[in-house]
Structure 1
Amino acid sequence: MLKVTVRNLVAHKIRLALTAFAVVLGVAFVAGTLVFTDTMGRQFDRLFSRTGKGVAVQVRPKKVVESEEGAAAPTLPASLVAVVGRVPGVARAHGEVSGFAAIVGRDGKVVGGSGPPQLGVDWDPADRNFPIKAGRGPSGPGEVAIDRQTAGKAGLGVGDRARVVIQGPTQLVTVVGIVDSGSLMGATLTAFDQGTAQRLLLRPGRFSDITVAARPGVSETVLRDRIRRVLPSPDYEAITGAKLREENKSQVATIMSFIRTALLIFAVISVFVGAFIIFNTFSMLVAQRSRELALLRAVGSSRRQVTRAVLGEAIGVGLVGSTAGLGAGVGLAVLLRALFNALGADLGGGLAFTYRPVLWSYAVGMVVTVVAAYLPARRAARIPPVAAMRDDVAMPQRSLRIRMTAGSLVTAAGAVLCGLGLGGSGAALLGVGVALVFLGVAMLAPVLARPVVRALGAAYPRVFRTPGRLATQNALRNPRRTAATASALMIGLALVTGINVMSASAKASITRQVDRSFAADYMVTAAGRVFSPAEPAKAVQAAAGVEQVTALYAGRFVAGGKTRSFVATERPADLRRAARLSLVSGSAELGADGLLVDRPTAASEGLRVGSAVGVRFPDGGSASVRVAGIYARNPLVGSRVLALPAYLAHTDHPTGAALMVNVAKAGTATKQGVERALSAYPGLKVQDQSDVKRSVQQGVDQFVLLLTALLALSIVIAALGIINTLALSVIERTREIGLLRAIGTSRRQTRRMIRLESVLIAAFGAVLGIALGVVAGIAFQRALRGQGLNVLSVPVTTLAGYLVLSAVIGVLAALWPAWRASRIDVLRAIAVE
């Protein structure tokens, strides 16, 4: 039987190659994802082993609030360095400073920005982690050293003058050194002398943490315990260097786990779609070779041997597809690394190869192929030996009633779970329900094929005459085959459509929110991470035509055991004009300790005017604030507005959220005047209402484009499935096509018939997929109304475009099968048994 299996693989090279290609694409996604994330993991391991080298113990303040980069954080007094340095076993104790600092390049743009952090640190001459490659380390005010990658992006060298953006006023500095940072994964590094770093990034006499080197023979654990005993406050902690490195790796592992999971989801979708093609191909191959298989049974082969022979072919396809997919996955990993490098996250070095991509590539490729081919193999084994004596052999087919019953039950169960999810049981339950509905409709597809295809092809006979009529009949002849072929396209288009409905709803919701809450003429925000709004606000206020500037600060505190976000402003009453803040009760006069909350927050936390709320700030300080007023929900402002004095009392470097600018007469000249006023503050951008809408909508569009590009792989696989089905169908109908040619059908009519059949199959899958995607998109929009997605928008034009695109896919998929059908030799075709 092994010889029979090999002979069949060789005899059907083209058909099985197309099937293997579906395996290749799915496996490539799996392998590429694992190779890429392994590469990221190796690079981070190198980075952390380098930066944490020589640290036996770290002393740091206990984190109070999970804050964003640049936000206020607790610090350590400089006097603690001497205390720690006197502990027995300590070789060296060094106070470290870290904060936000970003270099401005020669083009006037801030290097870095959204994504990797922009680090400002103190320069430690004894630290060998970042060796000097050119120049020297900074030794006084106005001097900095920057990393090599940042210097290249900024176009700066030793001796050049540059500007550094911090949370305070922009600093004019001289680059005195270039350091080798290895690879900071796109992060930027700006080093100051220690005194300057404290003054600019923290405050004089304070450190972010203290790193400790141990004397020879002193273990990290012993030294940590000794240092803990001398710490003057329970708000300080000492951890071993091993734990510090493990924490850093854990944070990165979380990021990589998210990236890996997101990419593998698309890989699973591609593999799932590919399984439809594999099942369809082997079903058709078994049907075409039914007499051959019956002869094998007649000459003594058992059912088990016939099953093994067909599964052996599947193993061969899976082996070839997995091997090619592994190679393609390496290429995909190279593309992903190039993409991350282009975005500023330089991975450096080559790819990392481990056993995992190889293991999972073959596991996925082989298992999916064999499982998808199992039912056709079992069906082949049920062919009776006596069938070898008949001219035609019909494969045993189960009634569609069983399929209709099972599909209806699965669809109904999914609908119930969707209802529960919409009723408040959670988005996860809704997701499971939608997945079951997708599966149920895929099971019902053979039942739906007859009425839907008949309706789609109703105009064919009138428009295309005989070829149109024959194309419709061919698509209806085997509804199982038509459904299996169309289901692959259905899944891909359903996901793409659902994403498009969600994105259209998100953009419509954003537009409504901006219209309702953006009352200022302009909004000033930071293109990078953080900025201090005090000085820019003064500059804008002095610009011609500016009537009011409302500075919004961003912060977090802990209240009720949870981290809460807030904005702070000097004159909350100005928000009524700048952000259409509508007060429901109480007063907007906050004094030194007042707090405004929106109505949903007040209801959920049981707050009312006059309530006292105990809060703790990131610097470790505590306060009691009073609820002065309650306002209607406002997406621009958020859920809390704190009195500015209460915020400033707990930070030395206030973080800006935005400047809201009202002018006497909005226009191009006024906007340019505001931009000129901010020329000394790189990274700040001025936007009017339309700019804000466009910026957010572009972000949504870019995200949707990325998801659609990833899902496009499943649509490519679906197109391969149509090619495969039509190619096998042409072989199956060789004699029929020969007879049509013999009675006068032209080659052109033959090609048209195949193309029209392909378009029907593609249109059937598109109609089901778009309908499912619209339903899924609406369901998720309804479930997320409480999170700001409160406007439903169905992009009808885009969906119509997808329907047209599906027809084009059908035409393209039919080119090769139609050409083969038209080139069939008439006499040989008629003689085929």
Structure 2
Amino acid sequence: MMGRVTLRNLAAHKIRLVLTAVAVILGVAFVAGTLMFTDTMNKRFDELFSNISQDIAVDVRAKKVVGGDEDGMSAQPIPASVLETVKGVDGVKDPIGNVTGYAAVVGKDGKIVGTPQNGPPQIGVNLTRSAFYELTSGRAPRGPREVVIDEASAEKGGLAIGDTTQVITAGPPQRMKVVGLVDTGNMMGATVTAFDTPTAQRLLLKPGYFTDIEMKSAGPSEEELRDRVAAVLPDNLEAITGTELREEAQSDVAQIMGFFRTFLLVFALISIFVGAFIIFNTFSMLVAQRTRELALLRAIGAARAQVTRAVIGEAVAVGIVGSTLGLAAGAGLASLLQAQMGDAGEGGLVFTATPVIWSYAVGIVVTVVSAYFPARRAAKIPPVAAMRDDVALPQRSMRIRIALGSLLTAVGAGLIAAGLAGTGGNPAVPVGAGAFGVFVGIAMLAPVISVPVLRVLGAPAARLLGPPGRLARQNALRNPRRTAATAAALMIGLALITTVNVLGATMRASIDEQIDAQFGGDYLVQAQGAGGVNPEAQQKVRRTPGVVAASPAYDGQVKIDGKDVFYVAADAAVIVEAARLNIVSGRAASGPSDLMVDEGTAEDRGWKVGSTVPVQFPDGETERLTLAGVYSRSDLIGPRLLSPEMHRRHTLNPTVGIMVVDTVRTDAAMRSALESAVSGYPNLEVADQASLKEDARGQVDGFVTFLTILLIMSVIIAAVGVINTLALSVIERTREIGLLRAIGTSRRQLRRMIRLESIMIAVFGAVLGMGIGVAFGAALQRALADEGLGVLSIPYGTLVLYLGVAAVIGVLAALWPAWRAGRMDVLKAISTE
């Protein structure tokens, strides 16, 4: 019997339950789309790496002394003599030397194809017979002035076979003729530029050297051939099997995709969390509207458990429908994400059991858990209540709610503080748990907070708009629990968006302060991508009239005390002035073996001026450097400064990332002269203090925009919740609305009343959320003050805009409920029980 009751209730409340299902659909779509997308990309890359190295039995490469060289572009080169040695090993077949390095192609618009700063890699290679990419048109390059590029880059750059273009490497730009096009398959949008082997060695590596040597097997197993090859290699080289090579590549991609999956799932869980409030609120209102009906069921013999199961059955049905539609929507989201991957996203989606299982598990479990407490309250209705007209659901004491909400908020704040303080372990766990606790705690306290806040928010409407304004405020205050639950969904989304925006504004203000305090140079000439400022360009900058000095700066990675660390290498005398370094002890480095570090590094390591520090470089050599000076923290230079001579001594192709330029004046003419000097190098740009700030702000703004877009899903779900609450509220107040119409309230006034009520609820949620977001942002800034976020900045203009957006959400959410209320038949509404 109760099964039929469940089905009848579903049929009777189709619109309301469909709106509830929307919250499930959106949350599940995020989860399913993320899982489908990452499964698809993992399979694509597995196939890619299998195809790339399927014929490789053994690969010879330099041993990695210092980490951070996963791409192999800065590994120590292998002499061609090793290739000749390997050819003599029994079982080796078709050994080939590969050359890999940085190369970028310039399109017809004079710009580098791709986005060198943050985009996919720009790879230069030698075209060999075993290349993983296929020559689709034209021919292989022959000689120093011919090049082959990938089809996607040719299309982006407007290039075709026979065109002459610039190719950017670590040396001077090369004018080359495009003689062929290759299909690179799914390479994540990477630009591939291929030369003949001698040209590739000259431009990318070093004449007579290879990046690695691959070979097939003439019979022995991979392991046996590896051991034979390893026996004839120098100590600085190693041999690995093709299987190990493929597993390494797949592991690296799996790690990246795993991080991406976790990142997106966090936002999916936020959407689901917001949806849980909507589901809870909807079922609470549905149960409240059917109080007498449920009491009658109890009166004719239905047990409490049966009533609970009936309501839970509705939740299961909503969960199944929402999960099914969410799964379909997730496939669309995955396709959209796949399309953003360019060539890497070609092909259909990969469907596995994982997204299906998780979609239904998440959708059904969240819906059932959210509906459980309303179902329990429904079961507690006494049968005798069916005989009363004023029956209402039992409500828990607000004192218990206040105590529990206060406790959860305090515990959550404590966990956030502990996580931000770095008390050990993964800080994301306590911070995430703490944020969850704070949100639930504030949501529990919201009914108490809503009364005074809504009185203030509703005062202008009550005073200026007469009866509709007063009624709207009274309706919003009538059921604080319901209003709070509706506003809580919007609160969560806007709290997180506000936190991101406060953090972004803080980052911008902190970067501006750092540049003002730490950048003392006149100009920087900096490179986009890995090509650096080539020697020819350096000379042109130095010869520019008005330039007093132009000093190159490098960066690299070494091993100190067994740990991989980064450093900057530059003329200390120039950098001390250009970066306004405050030397607290010792002096500026003057010799090749001198080292400078910041105070934190010296303190952590127990170093003092004069200490000897063993430093191991990527070429395997170890130098004993002397600590010449200690300086205050510098975010521009970092914690370690080496001499450029030492860097060049141990680096195969020293690449100048930036040049610090001092000039006799800093005006538009001087900057124009510098820009003219580097105009022939598309990868170089001239920057001053203002442009450095602008570039940094642009990167921060992109980061903030990206996170905000991901969080908008939760705001959309919250808007659905406001619609749902208002729609159910209109149905609940049918008789009241009829009486208002009967005593002279016009349809226009009625619609205005409902719109104002919606706006008040939305703005209340926004005020609460933005308040929490500002608090979270301030806490993050305080915790990260020593990491460069020294200036707290609150974007008041953005917050005012969000408040306006919340009001607009309120207006839009009220459109359908207000239209429905205005169309009610007065006599039928009055006669409604």
TM-score, with normalisation over the residues of structure 2?
0.96
Cα-Cα RMSD: 1.8
Q: How much does 1:481 deviate?
A: 0.6
Q: How much does 1:431 deviate?
A: 4.6
Q: Is the 8 A contact 2:412 2:436 kept in 1?
A: yes
Residue 209 of structure 1 aligns with which residue? 212
**Alpha-carbon separation, structure 2, partners of 1:432 and 1:180:** 47
Cα 1:398/1:454, change in 2 over 3 Å: same
Query: Are 2:282 and 1:281 equivalent residues in the alignment?
Result: yes
Q: Secondary structure at the match of 1:451?
A: helix
The one-character-per-residue Cα deviations of 1:111-146 (angstroms, maximum 9, x if unpaired) are: 232332111112213x15322212222232222222
Q: How much does 1:195 deviate?
A: 2.0
The one-character-per-residue Cα deviations of 1:154-207 (angstroms, maximum 9, x if unpaired) are: 222333222211112222222222222222111111122222222222212322
Query: Are 2:358 and 1:356 equivalent residues in the alignment?
Result: no
Q: How much does 1:632 deviate?
A: 2.4
Q: Secondary structure at the match of 1:263?
A: helix
Read off the aligned partner of 2:754 and give its amino acid letter.
I
Query: Are 2:733 and 1:729 equivalent residues in the alignment?
Result: no
Q: Is the 8 A contact 2:532 2:658 kept in 1?
A: no
Q: Is the 8 A contact 1:532 1:653 kept in 2?
A: no
Q: How does 1:599-614 map to 2 (within 5 A)?
A: 599-614=599-614
Residue 16 of structure 2 aligns with which residue? 15
**Alpha-carbon separation, structure 2, partners of 1:312 and 1:108:** 64
Q: Is the 8 A contact 2:103 2:531 kept in 1?
A: no
Read off the aligned partner of 1:376 and give its amino acid letter.
P
Cα 1:128/1:630, change in 2 over 3 Å: closer
| Percent of aligned pairs with the same amino acid | 58
Read off the aligned partner of 2:372 and give its amino acid letter.
Y
Residue 105 of structure 1 aligns with which residue? 107
Q: How does 1:316-327 map to 2 (within 5 A)?
A: 316-327=317-328
Residue 458 of structure 1 aligns with which residue? 459
Q: Is the 8 A contact 2:602 2:630 kept in 1?
A: yes
Query: Which runs of 5 or more structure 1 residues have no equivalent in the other structure?
Result: none
Q: Is the 8 A contact 2:23 2:275 kept in 1?
A: yes
Q: How does 1:467-546 map to 2 (within 5 A)?
A: 467-546=468-547
Q: Is the 8 A contact 1:71 1:655 kept in 2?
A: no
Q: How does 1:427-826 map to 2 (within 5 A)?
A: 427-428=427-428, 429-569=430-570, 571-826=571-826
Query: Are 2:87 and 1:89 equivalent residues in the alignment?
Result: no
Q: How much does 1:3 deviate?
A: 2.2
Q: Is the 8 A contact 1:58 1:211 kept in 2?
A: yes
Query: Are 2:250 and 1:252 equivalent residues in the alignment?
Result: no
Pick from 162, 173, 176 the counterpart of residue 173 of structure 1: 176
The one-character-per-residue Cα deviations of 1:332-356 (angstroms, maximum 9, x if unpaired) are: 1222223332xxx642222222222
Query: Are 2:182 and 1:184 equivalent residues in the alignment?
Result: no
**Alpha-carbon separation, structure 1, partners of 2:431 and 2:56:** 48
Q: Secondary structure at the match of 2:264?
A: helix
Q: How much does 1:421 deviate?
A: 4.3
The one-character-per-residue Cα deviations of 1:280-308 (angstroms, maximum 9, x if unpaired) are: 11111111011111222222322222222
Q: Is the 8 A contact 1:110 1:528 kept in 2?
A: no
**Alpha-carbon separation, structure 1, partners of 2:76 and 2:402:** 64
Moved more, 415-424 or 58-67: 415-424
Q: Is the 8 A contact 2:172 2:535 kept in 1?
A: no
Moved more, 152-161 or 399-408: 152-161
**Alpha-carbon separation, structure 2, partners of 1:495 and 1:219:** 55
Pick from 151, 174, 177 the counterpart of residue 154 of structure 2: 151
Q: How much does 1:70 deviate?
A: 8.3
Query: Which runs of 5 or more structure 2 residues have no equivalent in the other structure?
Result: none
The one-character-per-residue Cα deviations of 1:650-698 (angstroms, maximum 9, x if unpaired) are: 1231122211222222222222221111122221111221111111101
Cα 1:18/1:180, change in 2 over 3 Å: same
Q: How much does 1:589 deviate?
A: 4.2
Q: Is the 8 A contact 1:612 1:624 kept in 2?
A: yes
**Alpha-carbon separation, structure 2, partners of 1:55 and 1:94:** 10
Residue 35 of structure 1 aligns with which residue? 36
Q: Is the 8 A contact 2:476 2:761 kept in 1?
A: yes
Q: Is the 8 A contact 1:71 1:555 kept in 2?
A: no
Moved more, 502-511 or 466-475: 466-475
Residue 375 of structure 1 aligns with which residue? 373
Q: Is the 8 A contact 1:533 1:658 kept in 2?
A: no
Q: How much does 1:423 deviate?
A: 4.8
Q: How much does 1:531 deviate?
A: 1.1
Moved more, 70-79 or 303-312: 70-79
Q: Is the 8 A contact 2:72 2:211 kept in 1?
A: no
Q: How much does 1:211 deviate?
A: 0.9
Q: Is the 8 A contact 1:76 1:208 kept in 2?
A: yes
Read off the aligned partner of 1:737 and give its amino acid letter.
I
Residue 163 of structure 1 aligns with which residue? 166
Residue 415 of structure 2 aligns with which residue? 417
Q: How much does 1:603 deviate?
A: 2.0
Q: Is the 8 A contact 1:486 1:762 kept in 2?
A: yes
**Alpha-carbon separation, structure 1, partners of 2:747 and 2:157:** 64
Residue 270 of structure 1 aligns with which residue? 271
Q: How much does 1:493 deviate?
A: 0.7
**Alpha-carbon separation, structure 1, partners of 2:199 and 2:229:** 28
Read off the aligned partner of 1:486 and give its amino acid letter.
A
Read off the aligned partner of 1:91 and give its amino acid letter.
K
Query: Are 2:315 and 1:311 equivalent residues in the alignment?
Result: no
Residue 383 of structure 2 aligns with which residue? 385
Q: Is the 8 A contact 1:532 1:654 kept in 2?
A: no
Residue 58 of structure 1 aligns with which residue? 59
Q: Secondary structure at the match of 1:551?
A: strand
Q: How much does 1:715 deviate?
A: 0.8
Aligned residues: 826
Read off the aligned partner of 1:413 and give its amino acid letter.
V
**Alpha-carbon separation, structure 2, partners of 1:21 and 1:375:** 21
Query: Are 2:42 and 1:44 equivalent residues in the alignment?
Result: no
**Alpha-carbon separation, structure 2, partners of 1:311 and 1:365:** 14
Q: Secondary structure at the match of 2:340?
A: helix
Pick from 184, 200, 204 the counterpart of residue 203 of structure 2: 200
**Alpha-carbon separation, structure 1, partners of 2:620 and 2:417:** 45
Q: Secondary structure at the match of 1:624?
A: strand
Residue 832 of structure 2 aligns with which residue? 832
**Alpha-carbon separation, structure 2, partners of 1:717 and 1:11:** 24
**Alpha-carbon separation, structure 1, partners of 2:136 and 2:757:** 67
Cα 1:423/1:185, change in 2 over 3 Å: closer
Q: Is the 8 A contact 1:31 1:358 kept in 2?
A: yes
Cα 1:63/1:256, change in 2 over 3 Å: same
Q: Secondary structure at the match of 1:750?
A: helix
Q: Is the 8 A contact 2:576 2:588 kept in 1?
A: no
Cα 1:402/1:589, change in 2 over 3 Å: closer
Q: How much does 1:29 deviate?
A: 0.9
**Alpha-carbon separation, structure 1, partners of 2:111 and 2:463:** 63
Q: Secondary structure at the match of 1:230?
A: coil
Residue 120 of structure 1 aligns with which residue? 124
Q: Secondary structure at the match of 2:231?
A: helix
Read off the aligned partner of 1:677 and give its amino acid letter.
A
Q: How much does 1:422 deviate?
A: 5.3
**Alpha-carbon separation, structure 1, partners of 2:814 and 2:151:** 54
**Alpha-carbon separation, structure 1, partners of 2:309 and 2:633:** 66
Q: How much does 1:548 deviate?
A: 1.9
